Amino acid sequence: MGASYHKQRLVYSDLLHPELYGGQKCLIIDTELEIKNPCMFQYLMNFVKSNNLKMTKVCDIDEEKLGA
């Protein structure tokens, strides 16, 4: 999966991208990834678990918190 830049932000795919959200560094994962690429989704879930990372389900993104 190659990375590109869109609006000066690093973008890996429409379903997966790093972000600063509410002052926290995070990786935003669209729930469609589980359907469209189950292997990648499972890899990410295993990475989260093995590295003891926090994971939060956010249903609606508050645009004001992006980049802040």
Domain ranges of the chain: 4-57
pLDDT of residue 24: 82
33 contacts 43 by C-beta, under 8 angstroms = no
- In this prediction, residue 64 carries a pLDDT of 66
What SS3 state is found at 32? helix
Strands (DSSP E) contained in 2-47 are 4-6, 9-11, 16-21, 24-29
Per-residue pLDDT 10s for the chain (68 aa) are: 455 555 555 566 778 878 887 788 888 888 899 999 999 899 999 998 999 988 877 766 666 666 65
Cα separation, 43 vs 52, in Å, equals 14
pTM of this prediction exceeds 0.95: no
Instruction: Give the per-residue pLDDT at 63.
Output: 64
